[in-house]
Structure 1
Amino acid sequence: MLIGLFVLLLVMIFAGIPVILALGLIGVGGIAGVPELNFALFPQKMFTTLDSFSLLALPYFILAGELMARGGISRKLVEFAETVVGHLRGGLAQANIVASMVFSGVSGSSTADTSAIGSVLIPAMKEKGYKAGYAAAITATSGTIGAIIPPSMTLIVYGSLANVSIGGLFLGGIIPGILVGVAFMAVVVVQSRNAKKYPEMQSREGSFHLGAVLRALPRVWAALLAPLIIVGGILGGIFTATEAGVVACVYSFIIAFFIYRTVKLADLPRIFLAAAMTTCMVSGIIAIAGGFGWLLAYLNFNQIVLRNIYAVTDNPQIVFLLLVLVMLVLTMFVDSMAVLIISVPVAVQIGNSYGLDPFQLGLALTIATQIGSTTPPVAVLLFVASSIARCPYRETVRYVWPFIAAEIAVLMLVVFWTPVASAIPTWALTR
């Protein structure tokens, strides 16, 4: 029966049926195939999944990201990034990465990061001679940092389902997120040395001036302060991750309304509506996937997977790699959030059985889902960036592989070196 459920799920997804609807239909159909189960159990388990204090942070961070995006913060961050790295070869490509790293500390979403930064920088890169596919590829891959550097909606969902400290996951994402950004910048440096293939990267826009950076700070300091307040507050024990979401909302409103004056009171209904729609969409997927996950647990899916893994190997590192590989492959075909929600209970049980560090496991699986979301055939972020760049999807795919390889290298570092993901949260939560 389990194999039939998964086959039907994949068939429905490939047929173009929305993930949330496919999961719901398969879940209800699975209950119908078990005589002792009642249909009323499915909505009950959906509600139980959402009945989590940790998930309260989700709508707050979504609203904060919406306020920041509508407030034009992304454009100011892009301008600041150009001031810092625009003088380098491939300066606009480097600015794209730096801006994504900073904006990720505001939006908490890889899709929001890709859309906000892409709408500003992709047209600018095309004007400077960058190929549309290349601009889309670097924007989509650097957008994945939005789910790694705190605050992150993906880490909020993972922490609530895995019963792992969300504050600890936020802190654990700092080093891997920075490493992914640095790896992408290194790729651009290497590419900029190939004058024949990347002639658009050979020109330099002036030189670095500390004075220019200092003059740019008054225009962007408020936006740069947002992630520091969030992370610093959690690190200092001033507030929890959920309370940090409320702080982020209030701070975002103050910046957009009083400091930058880019949001008016008349704009708030549209902002609230957009945030509510996003929250409903994400919450719906979480609820449906939670009900489906409960059905899998009832059918002993977790125990079946564990038995098969024990039969193959008892090496924790190999098991870890298998989990990461499965997560990466699944997110190449299915929505990353849905895959994460369905897989987390099984992955956590396996991780606990093999003594894997909870923060290391959470960050590795999160990075794997983001790599999958930029890897063909079903790469959501590539589609988003390609639509902004107005270029064929296949053109974007041509340029994405070096950046995927760089992110996989960071993922392997997280898998094989525990302190990369666990050093900061372990220190913060045990002091």
Structure 2
Amino acid sequence: MEVIALFAVFLVLLLVGVPIAFSLGIASLSYLLLAGIPLTIVPQRLYAGVDTFVLLCIPGFVLAGNLMNVGNITEHIVRFSNALVGHIRGGLGLANVGGSMIFGGISGTAVADAASIGSVMIPGMSKAGYDKPFSAAVTAASSTIGPIIPPSVPMIIAGSLTGVSVGRMFLAGAIPGLLLGLAMMVTVYLLAIRRGYPKEKRVSLLQLVREGRTAFWALLMTAIILYGIIGGFFTPTEASIIASLYALVVGMYVYKGLSWRKLPAILTDTVLTSSALLLLVGLANLFGWILTSQQIPQMVAAGILSISESPLVVILILNLIMLFVGAFMETIAALIILFPALLGVATGVGMDPVHFAVMAVLNLMIGLTTPPVGVCLFVVAGIGNLQMLTVARAILPFLACNLAVLLMVSYVPSISLWLPNLILGQ
């Protein structure tokens, strides 16, 4: 009875538009009251949910992304990407994807990518002759590359849940992220040829070198983060602080977009964003604790394995579950609730935990561009002053492309595991 009330309250609140964190908290509170469990468990589980060293890097990476965004890094990334591929048919669309791949290596979050790249590219592409729904769809779709290419906030969360090396998961996401970006570029190019989108004038070698030199500092930041973590020089948490300091220096003294006057607003925004994320993590941990105490994960695992024990079928079912949940639930909450439950099913059919983590994050990233709760769709629709349904229709070719990459990553483990095994060993 109490479990039914838990899910009923959660779904009703979600459907009426209550934020996901409060939906989780109120549903959990209703369960505790009905079950007669002392409410002292609430602060205990909230604290336990965020009392993980690796989660400290979330505010650091959020701050780094905010500093680089305000420090004009987005503009330089877009200009460099456009200099590389702008002369190809649909070049601004290709530059949009390329910019997201670079920016994703800085912020690690899809929503930040969609907001920052979108504010530059959607108006620019519209002026250049691209229809606005296509511009918004490219921006939303490519923003999902960010949390696959390291550093990745969802992979940090997954690592904190399972104890799997965050550095290994960062490496595991590199090739799938690049594959996702290339697949989107092919989709953009084919649509551009079919619809007759324009192309930019080819830049000179001197100008390309000049733009590359300017974007060098952004690329170097990603290299420092990865080399430091993988080389064992610092932890992901320490990397986030180094990234923030680096972003402060580069944004203030190289790109000159930052000033001391802007820092209070940046820090305030970082605190609000990080607090919301960590509150969500804590409340999702309370919800997850209730599910675990009621042995819901074991029931889910048993139910899936009762359908089939074939790895091919089980992997397909896991993908379908995560795609469905990702379309309705915020990424971090879905990861905390689903990941521990489904990890046991995945390892039970022989999947490597790192491989499953990449597959899970990719599924939930696709959910960010899938109605009805596709957060990135709402962001780009707001920037482009478009209806949500219009953007949802325009993004369908990119969803098909992303699903094709998802199937490849799901059924070819070496795409995820080759690089971490090569660098860090089996």
TM range, normalised to the smaller chain? over 0.9
* Alignment-mate amino acid for residue 338 of structure 1: A
1:211 positional shift:
3.0
Question: In the alignment, what sits opposite 1:343?
Answer: 338
Partner of 2:82: 82
* Residue 174 of structure 1, CA deviation: 0.6
Aligned alpha-carbon RMSD (Å): 1.4
CA distance, structure 2, for counterparts of residue 69 and residue 101 of structure 1: 15
Q: Residues 208 and 72 (structure 1 numbering): CA distance in 2 closer, same or farther, change over 3 Å?
A: closer
Q: How many residues align?
A: 425
Residue aligning to 2:21: 20
Residue number in structure 2 paired with 1:294: 289
Amino acid at match of 1:11: V
1:325 Cα deviation from its structure 2 partner:
1.2
Q: Which position in structure 1 is the counterpart of 2:407?
A: 412
Find out whether 1:101 has 2:96 as its counterpart.
no
The structure 1 residue matched to 2:207, chosen from 212, 220, 224, is 212
Which has the higher mean CA deviation after the structures are superposed, 311-320 or 101-110?
311-320
Render the CA deviation track for 1:240-283: whole Å, top value 9, x for unaligned.
22221121111111111121221112221111111111000000
**In the alignment, residue 226 of structure 2 is paired with which amino acid?**
V
Residue 242 of structure 2: which of 242, 247, 269 is its match? 247
Q: Does the Cα contact within 8 Å between 2:105 and 2:149 map onto a contact in 1?
A: yes
How far does the alpha carbon of each residue in 1:217-244 deviate from its partner, in whole angstroms, 9 at most, with x for none?
2222111211111112222222222221
By how many angstroms is 1:316 displaced?
Answer: 2.3
Q: Residue 162 of structure 1 contacts residue 348 of structure 1 at CA under 8 Å; is this kept in 2?
A: no
Question: Does structure 1 retain, via aligned residues, the 8 Å contact 2:355–2:413?
Answer: yes
How many angstroms does 1:26 deviate by? 0.8
**What is the TM-score normalised by the length of structure 2?**
0.97
User: For the residues of structure 1 that align with 2:268 and 2:371, how far apart are their CA atoms?
Assistant: 32
Task: State the partner residue of 1:259.
Answer: 254
The aligned residue for residue 193 of structure 1 is 193
Which residue number in structure 2 is paired with residue 319 of structure 1? 314
Matching residue's letter, 2:383? I
C-alpha deviation, 1:406, in angstroms: 0.7
Contact 2:150/2:170 (<8 A) preserved: yes
Show the counterpart of 2:349.
354
Q: 1:321 to 1:3 in 2, by over 3 A?
A: farther
Letter in 2 for 1:6: F
Are residue 374 (structure 1) and residue 369 (structure 2) matched?
Answer: yes
Q: Does residue 159 of the first structure (1) align with residue 153 of the second (2)? A: no
- Whether contact under 8 Å (2:90, 2:193) holds in the other structure is no
Between the aligned partners of 2:338 and 2:272, the Cα distance in structure 1 is 25
Tell me, yes or no, if the aligned pair for 2:304 and 2:317 is still in contact at 8 Å. Answer: no
Matched, 1:401 2:402: no
CA contact (8 A) 2:280 2:333 kept: yes
1:115 to partner: Cα distance: 0.4
Match of 1:127 in 2: 127
- Rounded to whole Å, the distance in 2 between the matches of 1:235 and 1:125 is 38
- TM-score, length-normalised on structure 1? 0.96
Comparing 111-120 with 158-167, greater Cα deviation is found at 158-167
Aligned 8 A contact 1:96 1:138 in 2: yes
Stretch deviating more after TM superposition (339-348 or 1-10): 1-10
Given residue 12 of structure 1, which amino acid in structure 2 is its aligned partner?
Answer: L
Paired residue type of 1:210: L
Offset of 1:208 from its aligned partner? 5.4
